[in-house]
């Protein structure tokens, strides 16, 4: 077995030495094991550049991996062969991954309002409202602790977001007050959005008691399931998800004139390029467009006549 080989065990130590997140380390090792399983009669050192290239083709064309997952496999095998075994093959430059970037699903302001009117449980309304208000990923939202809200400065601290990055996002005083009322209902010291589990009625007499005594945070899957019910109940025809609230946050801020660099910082994007996609879905009314167009020439020429 590959896990018993010295080259693999030494590679595990090599990966552990890297400043990678736990999930990334596990995925890198899994992709190397997956390659080894396709060549059980050869050691990983014996595999040629062509064999590794064919494996990537197999993942793309036969297993139909999504571009993001295929890229994980490529990065994992590159780390093993180029960084660890020093095989500087041409395939690292030759293998191409076609990345389709569909436009994000964005809700209009009216649809967002209808969505929240359809939410029946306050615990889900609270977390979904904060996702939209601060442009959070659902995983970031459910992991929040009461101490992550700095009411004096009016900011929300997102700890260990995507890529292990931390950031601060402004939060309105009105939202802080709504969350304060929500927290006073359960008073869980550890979690802003405590998870109660499906069988909470069997353990506790009330939802308040279940939330107050919860040891863990609300699960991502429970929020996603709640939103699916809400979207259907609100009569929204778009394929909206929790991430659509984040998309809507970004789009609505851009439509209101917030700079794209500021929106990018709020979202916690590693580069501005990730935020540019929202420029394709922002809506500016024809009236605003005409006003902006008229202002351009007014600012350029002032009262100067064009008559000869």
Q: Directed axis angle between helix 122-134 and helix 173-186, to 10°?
A: 150
Would you call 228 a catalytic residue per the annotation? no
| Residue 207 CA from chain centroid, whole number | 29
Q: Beta-carbon neighbour count of residue 96 at 10 Å?
A: 8
Would you call 278 a catalytic residue per the annotation? yes
- The catalytic position among 28, 81, 132, 278 is 278
- The catalytic position among 25, 33, 157, 243 is 243
- The catalytic position among 60, 87, 246, 252 is 246
Would you call 81 a catalytic residue per the annotation? no
Would you call 6 a catalytic residue per the annotation? no
Would you call 243 a catalytic residue per the annotation? yes
Would you call 162 a catalytic residue per the annotation? yes
- The catalytic position among 55, 247, 252, 269 is 269
Alpha-carbon span 130 to 141, nearest angstrom: 7
- The catalytic position among 60, 123, 137, 252 is 137
- The catalytic position among 34, 162, 167, 178 is 162
Residues with a catalytic annotation lie at 137, 162, 243, 246, 269, 278
């Amino acid at each position: 077995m590959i896990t018993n080989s010295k080259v693999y065990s030494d590679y595990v130590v090599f990966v552990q030495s890297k400043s990678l997140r736990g999930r990334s380390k596990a995925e890198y090792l899994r992709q190397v094991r997956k390659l080894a399983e396709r060549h059980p009669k050869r050691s990983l050192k014996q595999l040629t550049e062509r064999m590794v290239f064919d494996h990537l083709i197999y993942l793309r064309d036969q297993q139909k991996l999504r571009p993001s997952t295929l890229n994980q496999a490529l990065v994992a095998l590159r780390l093993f062969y180029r960084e660890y075994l020093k095989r500087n093959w041409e395939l690292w430059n030759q293998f191409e991954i076609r990345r389709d970037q569909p436009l994000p699903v964005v809700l209009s302001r009216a649809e967002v309002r209808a969505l929240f009117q359809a939410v029946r449980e306050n615990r889900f309304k609270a977390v979904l409202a904060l996702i939209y208000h601060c442009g959070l990923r659902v995983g970031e939202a459910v992991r929040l602790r009461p101490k992550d809200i700095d009411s004096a400065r009016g900011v929300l601290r997102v700890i260990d977001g995507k890529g292990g990055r931390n950031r601060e996002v402004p939060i309105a005083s009105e939202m802080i007050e709504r969350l304060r009322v929500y927290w006073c209902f359960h008073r869980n010291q550890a979690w802003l959005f405590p998870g109660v589990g499906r069988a909470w009625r069997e353990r506790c007499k009330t939802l308040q008691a279940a939330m107050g005594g919860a040891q863990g945070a609300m699960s991502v899957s429970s929020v996603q399931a709640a939103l699916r019910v809400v979207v259907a109940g609100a009569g929204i025809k778009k394929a909206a998800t929790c991430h659509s609230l984040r998309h809507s946050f970004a789009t609505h801020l851009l439509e209101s004139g917030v700079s794209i660099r500021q929106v990018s910082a709020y979202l916690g994007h590693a580069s501005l390029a990730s935020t540019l996609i929202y420029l394709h879905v922002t809506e500016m009314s024809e009236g605003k467009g005409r006003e902006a167009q008229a202002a351009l020439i007014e600012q350029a020429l002032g009262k100067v006549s064009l008559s000869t």
